[in-house]
């Protein structure tokens, strides 16, 4: 069952960060089978101390939940939604149609078609309903993009993003130096 699979992947506390705090980011996905990919977004948000929640919301299996989650998100204090799905991946687009919040789509590589199906389902939104789509299975970038979006109103968060970029650059420089020796 979902609870058991959730708990076996990550313990409960690490999923809903700081439960007393209003989540700023909602990480949702079509199935618990997306969790091994989507947990990378949670890891990034935890690293930047951004409160988040994780929910299984399926566009096809639980359309009513999708409707109520997306419609209520803004009033609940959510500022960005990260939505991952595989196959006929309608979740990010449908959610974007139901909320004025920015939605970041993560195409999850499902069992067939190498995730190209998910990518095209998510990226090919009709004019008027944008979904910021990251690379196949790249929930890390979805987390980082959410942090950058929240940084618009949070100078401290921007500084930490800048530090993250400096650290990345230094890592590469150290590797290059080692190769040159």
Token reading at 98: 């139901």
Q: Which stretch binds ligand RP5 (CB under 6 A): 13-21, 84-92, 122-130, 138-146?
A: 84-92
Round the CA-based radius of gyration of the chain to a whole number and report it: 17
Backbone angles phi, psi at 25, to 5 degrees: -125, 135
- Say whether residue 85 binds ligand RP5 (CB under 6 A): yes
- Say whether residue 33 binds ligand RP5 (CB under 6 A): yes
- Say whether residue 27 binds ligand RP5 (CB under 6 A): no
Q: How far is CA 175 from CA 159, 168, 171, 172, in A?
A: 25, 11, 6, 5
171 CB-near residues (< 8 Å, 6+ apart): none
Which one of residues 108, 142, 144, 150 is an interface residue with ligand RP5 (CB under 6 A)?
A: 108
Specify the length of the chain in residues.
Answer: 181
**At closest approach, how far in Å is the CB of 110 from ligand RP5?**
5
- Say whether residue 30 binds ligand RP5 (CB under 6 A): yes
- Say whether residue 23 binds ligand RP5 (CB under 6 A): no
Which one of residues 31, 79, 121, 137 is an interface residue with ligand RP5 (CB under 6 A)?
A: 31
Distance in angstroms (rounded) separating the CA atoms of residues 93 and 83: 9
- Say whether residue 62 binds ligand RP5 (CB under 6 A): no
101 CB-near residues (< 8 Å, 6+ apart): 73, 74, 78, 79, 80, 81
- Say whether residue 53 binds ligand RP5 (CB under 6 A): no
**At closest approach, how far in Å is the CB of 91 from ligand RP5?**
7
Q: Which residues are near ligand RP5 by CB under 6 A?
A: 29-31, 33-34, 58, 85-87, 108, 110
């Amino acid at each position: 069952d979902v609870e058991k699979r959730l708990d076996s992947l990550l313990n409960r506390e690490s999923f809903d960060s700081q439960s007393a705090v209003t989540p700023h980011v909602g990480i949702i996905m079509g199935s618990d089978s997306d969790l091994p990919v989507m947990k990378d977004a949670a890891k990034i948000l935890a690293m930047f101390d951004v409160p988040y929640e994780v929910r299984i919301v399926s566009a096809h299996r639980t359309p009513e939940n999708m409707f109520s989650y997306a419609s209520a998100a803004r009033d609940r204090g959510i500022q960005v939604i990260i939505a991952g799905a595989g196959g006929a991946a309608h979740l990010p687009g449908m959610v974007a149609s139901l909320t004025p919040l920015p939605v970041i789509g993560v195409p999850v590589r499902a069992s067939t078609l190498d995730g190209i199906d998910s990518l095209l389902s998510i990226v090919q939104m009709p004019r008027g309903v944008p979904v910021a789509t990251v690379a196949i299975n790249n929930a890390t970038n979805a987390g980082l993009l959410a942090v950058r979006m929240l940084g618009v109103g949070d100078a401290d968060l921007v500084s930490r993003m800048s530090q993250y970029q400096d650290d990345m650059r230094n890592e590469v420089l150290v590797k290059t130096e080692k190769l040159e020796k």
